[in-house]
Structure 1
Amino acid sequence: MFEVEVKYRIPSHDVIKDKLKSLNARFLEHTEETDIYFNSPIRDFAKTDEALRVRVYGDGTVVLTYKGPRIGSVGKTREELSVTVNDLDNLLEILRRLEFKEVARVVKRRDIYNYENFTIYIDTVEGLGSFVEVETMVNDKELINKATEEVLQLGDRLGLKRDWIERKTYLELVLEKQSANKP
């Protein structure tokens, strides 16, 4: 599967929530997520544009996700493979014993909405601020460009300005901030 996503840095949640309401988008849930990112002992994911993430949801669910390199120039489209795991401590220990190194944690509060075949995430990310992610999934690489345009069009309908698009991942933004804050 390919996750076709465009992320926007936004000044306020209020405008987007009003637009979602006017479109009759369905509120799904509020959740808190902690993402723990790892780097490989055999290649540098920062150089290969890959990611290995352990996501811990507020309800205790744990999901291990591999994200391939970004595809395309607008959003953050990637191949994504995930598996749910029932033991966070053992998963983290396995990764450590295989010499994967934790590089950062991203903590966010997230409101999730559904509109047609799109998922809209309104995020508050610790230390980074407010964002909206608009995404859809496709199973054929040939559909990525069409899906990207549909995501952008929905962003336009939601009042999200294209110059608000943020191509960097939360991980990249957190690492940049950490680097800027080092003495």
Structure 2
Amino acid sequence: MFEVEVKYRVPNHDAIRDRLKALNAKFLEHTEETDIYLNSPLRDFAKTDEALRVRVYGDGTVVLTYKGPRIGNVGKTREELSVTANDLDSLLEILRRLDFREVAKVVKRRDIYNYENFTIYLDTVEDLGSFVEVETMVNDKELINRATDEVLQFGDKLGLKREWIEKRTYLELVLERGNERR
């Protein structure tokens, strides 16, 4: 499965919420998420454009996700593989014993909406600000370009300006911010 996603840095979420409401988009949930990113002892994920993330949801659910290198140059399309775990401490200890090391933590509050085949995330990321992610999923690599165009057109419909597109991941933004503070 391929996640086709475009992220926008926005001044706030008010106008986007209004547009979603006008479209009768379905509000799914509010969640808080803590993402713990790890690096491999075998290769540097920053160089290979991969990611290994442990996500902890507000309800305690723990999901380990591998993200392959980005595909395309507009959004953040990646192959993703995920598995749910029921014990955060044990999962992290296993990864540490295999010499994976934590590189950063991203904490966000997220409102999730659905409209047709799109999932829309209104994110407030600790120390980074407000973002909107629009995504869809495809199971065939040949469909990625068309899906990217559809995501961009839907973003236009929501009033998201293309100059607001943020190509960096939250992890990259957090790491850059950490370097600025040093």
The answer, yes or no, to whether TM exceeds 0.5 is yes
Residue aligning to 1:126: 126
Equivalenced residues, count: 182
The list of structure 1 runs, each at least 4 consecutive aligned residues, that deviate by more than 3 angstroms after superposition, is none
Residue aligning to 2:112: 112
SS in 1 for 2:127: coil
Q: List per-residue Cα deviations over 1:94-153 (Å, max 9, x = no partner).
A: 000000010000000000000001000000000000000000000000000000000000
Structure-1 separation of matches of 2:158 and 2:36: 30
Residue aligning to 1:166: 166
Paired amino acid for 1:154: F
Residue aligning to 1:45: 45
Structure-2 separation of matches of 1:86 and 1:105: 20
Kindly report which structure 2 residues correspond to 1:66-105, keeping only aligned pairs within 5 A, or say none. 66-105=66-105
Cα distance, 1:12 vs structure 2: 1.0
Paired amino acid for 1:21: K
Q: List per-residue Cα deviations over 1:45-86 (Å, max 9, x = no partner).
A: 000000000000000000000000000000000000000001
Paired amino acid for 2:55: R
Residue aligning to 1:59: 59
Structure-2 separation of matches of 1:57 and 1:117: 23
Q: List per-residue Cα deviations over 1:142-170 (Å, max 9, x = no partner).
A: 00000000000000000000000000000
Residue aligning to 2:18: 18
The alignment yields a C-alpha RMSD, in angstroms, of 0.3
Structure-2 separation of matches of 1:87 and 1:172: 27
Residue aligning to 2:137: 137
TM-score, normalised with respect to structure 1: 0.99
Percent of paired sites with the same residue: 84
Paired amino acid for 1:164: W
Give unmatched runs, 5+ long, in structure 1: none
Structure-1 separation of matches of 2:172 and 2:120: 21
Q: List per-residue Cα deviations over 1:3-46 (Å, max 9, x = no partner).
A: 00000000011000000001110000000000000000010000
